[in-house]
Structure 1
């Protein structure tokens, strides 16, 4: 009797959990069916759902039927693959495509490269406490990276240049940089991209993991020497020793103290004091400078902040904070003299 009750309880639990799973997908499916949404909104909802929820192949096929475009089906399937529960059935998805080339591209970017991916040892950024810079003080969240990664890869002009552009506008973990680098076939392109990406990595001392992506021994040794040289230079850089990097809470306090000053003269004086004593990234300098209305004050702060800025190669981007051509020319001349 007890065994029968136990078996019935277990069966109810299985049915209940299946019902919850089905209910969640059915709710999503009903939302896709709403005619009030445009095709772009429906696509965004499908990408968002597949990024944050486990999904069966049958459900993925069902969701793809809402789209006539093979390119949109491809985006959803690539995005959903990491969360697919029954990957052994993923081959059924290829029948959805009229375009053979997109079906093959889907295969190569999902099932075909799983064996290669499993051989790569990726660093864990969660417990990293090594060398960092103000230019990259918090890596992008993984779910956000996945969405942007898929968006970048689906561009028609996807190449090393578009990857560089994506990297230069974000702070990434070494693992995320490795994922982007893996999409390149040429080892020289990979080597070039890794050199470019180094300053945009949060966990700099984990960057040695990237050597796994280079098979050519000559290029591998060049990469290792490059990382050695960059880390040694950053450790010995007087700019980092002469100024003190701020935590996010400290920086928030500095910015608020500047904002709270009622008189522009005192606000400028306080900003100068903080800039002289601390290291500020491009993003943080921009935020401080935008607290001032006059180009003259902005230019004075920009010149003062250059010395302690850790990512000077991007300092030219701050030109946009100035309004008048005369001050922009003076800013350009200042950089040329440096």
Structure 2
């Protein structure tokens, strides 16, 4: 599905985020590039031309590449990955050895207060978990000839195997890692929760939600976002983010399609990146999900253990923007915003300086941090 998003004429302001900590998001701009992302999705899902299939007279179409058969139907969830790894008795010894390594990790690593900086501790945990996952992959390939043959002839299957092993390892140490993240971000999550409670009481227009969408009900997006705390692996949590964004986009486009007016007027309602950012902030305020900073850290640092480029891919893209949104919500910028915006019950006493702001200026005040 392709979404035509318009681009702002004015150049967005940027501001570096200092002291980003273990998330490593210094200078990250949380301006979600939906137009490019939608184009990539459309190109990836576009039907391929097949040789000999002449949809138009005289036009010979290109051959379609063979599609790799998935190793298992459901490798996006911890349960699915566990079922896959336990589906063959040839995998038993490798899993038992990996389980012993996981138990050693959970018993030997101290997750409490430490003199080491948080980012060093996280890198040490990642290094150990990466070795456990790699050992599991190597032993599975060595003990299961059928699996080894499938992965040898298809790189996609090899990637699926690595991802399944990472998911299983991370699911096994979830409580250990997420509790450590909660300790690291306990104070900042408390500040973030307080700010979100205050933002939930303000007029959505002040957050940058345009008046045309003021009555937009988040509905399904709220249900999806609240599932983020239930996921035990970074992959499950990141998929919740992706589904949340898709629900917001579909809801906005549904509102636009139901509006009366000319095509040009509807085109003027098409959301840009700032609009989606404003909805995301409103969603975070309405959802009342706790430990957002801890979840952001967990996803950002552990989404991919095998790949060095952790910023690649659609899921990592959503996670990076979510991290930046969390950092914005505990910044001095949002404190100034909350101090000057009116609540729905206090619109009559709105300061003149706030009333005079156009919807675009309000969105820019929220977006300029990024």
Smaller-chain TM-score bracket: under 0.3
TM-score of the aligned structures, taking structure 2 as reference length:
0.25
Q: Higher Cα Rg: structure 1 or 2?
A: 1
TM-score of the aligned structures, taking structure 1 as reference length:
0.26
**Larger helix proportion of the pair:** 1
